[in-house]
Amino acid sequence: MADSQTKYNLGCKFVGRKKLEEFDDFFKTLKKRIGTQIHEVFAHEKHKPPKERRLITFVSGKLGQYKSAFNRHFYRIARLVHGIPIACR
């Protein structure tokens, strides 16, 4: 997973199985690393109307496990662009 503006790699994890628990562990680790920053951005933006908020945005592939795990950890405080094909730049 990389930041769309800086291209900084926020985290990656290779999994042998595509189980929700594996994706959940990935987002837990990510939340420990950058959760404070995401909450700071949200605290600054939460007073704006929802469509005008400039929240941290994550981009993921088409697997439904990404969306489920993301919603467990970052629902409402960040955005997810879900369903981008791997070959897409």
Condensed to tens digits (0 to 9), the pLDDT of residues 66-77 reads 899 999 999 999
Beta-bridge mates of residue 79: 57
Q: What is the pLDDT of residue 43?
A: 96
Phi and psi dihedrals of 8, rounded to 5? Answer: -70, 130
Of 25, 23, 31, residue with least CA distance to 64: 23
In angstroms, rounded to a whole number, what is the distance separating the alpha carbons of residues 47 and 50?
A: 9
Q: What is the pTM of this model?
A: 0.75
Q: What is the pLDDT of residue 63?
A: 84
Its domain, for residue 41, covers 1-89
Chain centroid to Cα 89, Å, comes to: 18
Domain tally, the chain: 1
